[in-house]
């Protein structure tokens, strides 16, 4: 299927590792020009070099998404460099699971408010595109009460509510808004890789709960994001797509 993304202009927050890196790669492989942000300058440089020959160009910029002014500045500057924006993906998460007061503030700023600020900053550019798309990354923990209940899961739930309302508000303005909620996703250096080494009981219990017998890959999550962002999904807005290998049990109405 041709996703009609050749030449599209895309922003991704947190594009050097895991799901974010896979999203950047997937967009680039569809012929899009992609700009991503991250905090680690060394990881940005490595990602740029490794993806230099992919798509219509991949560029990284050092941004802390908790800094609202810096995030807005990056969006506008990137839109200028790319000649506009067709899609943005709010991917960054603090993954602040322990129930501490500090993690509540960190999760609020990193997970929820960066999503809100990215959407608001990108909106004028997405409207001008005529086929604008916003995709936010939530989590199966935003829908199911599980081990991550607390700051992480609460902010992921809030993202679902925010994006649903955003989709309704923007439906007549040519901009779509959707959510992808990954299930447990395994990659080297990621949360579940660390849990396998340091919290083997948690890792084993979560692995056992998935009827597929495995955790997902970043690439499997990225494909869902890219599909929802593409023009072939032009009538899909306000949706919440779980990609969890049947880990969740509730019926989504």
Q: Which of 141, 152, 233, 248 is catalytic?
A: 152
Angstrom CA distances, 121 to 14, 52, 131, 227, 252, stand at 17, 27, 16, 23, 31
- Would residue 138 show up in a list of annotated catalytic residues for this protein? yes
| Residue 67 near residue 42 (C-beta atoms within 8 A) | no
Q: Which of 8, 93, 107, 138 is catalytic?
A: 138
Q: Which of 156, 162, 181, 248 is catalytic?
A: 156
At 150 the three-state DSSP class reads coil
Q: Which of 93, 129, 139, 230 is catalytic?
A: 139
Angle at 31 between CA 29 and CA 33, to 5 degrees: 105
- Would residue 164 show up in a list of annotated catalytic residues for this protein? no
Strands (E), 41-160: 58-62, 87-90, 132-137
- Would residue 139 show up in a list of annotated catalytic residues for this protein? yes
CB-facing half-sphere around the CA of 149: CA atoms within 13 A: 4
- Would residue 107 show up in a list of annotated catalytic residues for this protein? no
Q: Which residues are catalytic?
A: 138-139, 152, 156
């Amino acid at each position: 299927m041709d996703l009609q993304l050749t030449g599209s202009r895309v922003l991704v927050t947190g594009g050097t590792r895991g799901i974010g890196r896979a999203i950047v790669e997937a967009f680039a492989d569809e012929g899009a020009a992609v700009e991503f942000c991250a905090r680690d300058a060394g990881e940005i440089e490595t990602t740029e070099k490794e993806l230099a020959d992919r798509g219509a160009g991949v560029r990284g910029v050092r941004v802390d998404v908790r800094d609202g002014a810096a995030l807005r500045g990056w969006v506008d500057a990137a839109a200028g460099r790319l000649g506009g924006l067709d899609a943005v993906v709010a991917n960054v998460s603090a993954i602040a699971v322990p129930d501490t007061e500090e993690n509540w503030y960190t999760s609020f700023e990193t997970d929820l408010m960066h999503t809100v600020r990215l959407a608001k900053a990108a909106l004028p550019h997405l409207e001008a595109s005529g086929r604008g798309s916003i995709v936010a990354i939530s989590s199966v923990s935003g829908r199911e009460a599980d081990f991550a209940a607390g700051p992480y899961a609460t902010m992921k739930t809030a993202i679902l509510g925010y994006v649903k309302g955003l989709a309704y508000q923007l439906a007549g303005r040519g901009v779509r808004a959707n959510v992808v909620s990954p299930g447990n996703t395994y990659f080297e250096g990621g949360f579940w890789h660390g849990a396998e080494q340091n919290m083997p009981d948690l890792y084993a219990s979560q692995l056992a709960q998935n009827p597929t017998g495995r955790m997902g890959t970043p690439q499997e999550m990225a494909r869902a994001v890219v599909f929802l962002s593409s023009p072939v999904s032009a009538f899909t807005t306000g949706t919440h797509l779980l990609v969890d290998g049947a880990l969740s049990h509730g019926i989504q109405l």
